[in-house]
């Protein structure tokens, strides 16, 4: 992730400085201690770093102490109002077969792969009425957004689901968990295709 001061070149102020009425409810203007600004929303925060997302879906990890005092207070208040669920998300590839036809039109079975996804959390409360949004990256294809519902998820009792079998080579998986329209968890496989992708 790039630091805030590295991604904010000097540009015409009018293109960056917007009145609060022009910034949607979850987005705000963040200012670093050099006075450079960015419109973004908080995705997650620790004691030292905050992860923010711009409207173009690019995310950045920023040291909280590098931001203005006003932003530091805002992040502290945000952390107090947004619970950390402590998600543990894992995935592994599984092999299978899918039906197909050879060059003569005869039925055959082709080798295929899919992801087995496991989702657990460490919060005391039961997570309900949430959704898993995910994208599967395959060779030569544009990833499509897919969804799974979380009706009730207890800590220590992981939810598991399998993605659709495909004969195309799997090149990564990106998972986000949403509740009440807010992202509360995220997972990415450490593959080149996913690292370069935007949501």
> Which CATH number goes with the domain that contains 121?
2.60.40.10
Domain that holds residue 31: 4-81
* pLDDT at residue 81 is higher than 50: yes
* pLDDT at residue 105 is higher than 70: yes
| Alpha helix segments (H runs only) across the chain | 4-7, 69-81, 192-196
99/49 same-domain check = no
pLDDT of residue 46: 84
117/60 same-domain check = no
Last residue of one domain, picked from the residues 81, 96, 115: 81
Last residue of one domain, picked from the residues 81, 115, 150: 81
Which among 61, 177, 173, 167 has a CA at the least distance from the CA of 119?
Answer: 177
72/138 same-domain check = no
pLDDT of residue 7: 43
* pLDDT at residue 80 is higher than 90: no
Last residue of one domain, picked from the residues 60, 81, 102: 81
145/183 same-domain check = yes
130/47 same-domain check = no
pLDDT of residue 24: 44
Phi, psi of 85 (to 5 degrees): -90, -10
Specify the range with the lowest mean pLDDT, choosing from 4-18, 44-58, 60-74, 101-115: 4-18
Specify the range with the lowest mean pLDDT, choosing from 19-23, 165-169, 183-187: 19-23
pLDDT of residue 10: 32
| Alpha helix segments (H runs only) across 1-141 | 4-7, 69-81
33/118 same-domain check = no
């Amino acid at each position: 992730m790039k630091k805030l001061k590295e991604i904010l070149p000097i540009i015409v102020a009018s293109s960056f400085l917007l009145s609060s009425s022009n910034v949607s409810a979850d987005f705000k203007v963040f200012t670093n201690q050099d006075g450079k600004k960015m419109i973004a929303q908080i995705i997650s925060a620790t004691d030292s770093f905050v992860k923010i997302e711009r409207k173009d879906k690019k995310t950045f990890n920023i040291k909280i102490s590098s931001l203005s005092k006003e932003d530091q207070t805002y992040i502290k208040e945000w952390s107090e109002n947004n619970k950390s669920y402590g998600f543990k998300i894992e995935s592994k590839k599984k092999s299978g077969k899918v039906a197909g036809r050879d060059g003569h039109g005869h039925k055959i079975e082709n080798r295929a792969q899919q992801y087995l996804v496991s989702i657990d959390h460490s919060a005391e409360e039961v997570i309900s009425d949430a959704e898993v949004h995910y994208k599967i990256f395959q060779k030569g294809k544009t990833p499509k957004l897919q969804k799974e519902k979380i009706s009730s998820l207890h800590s220590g009792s992981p939810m598991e689901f399998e993605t659709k079998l495909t004969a195309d080579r799997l090149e990564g998986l990106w998972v986000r968990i949403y509740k009440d329209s807010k992202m509360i968890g995220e997972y990415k496989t450490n593959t080149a295709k996913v690292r370069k992708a935007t949501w």
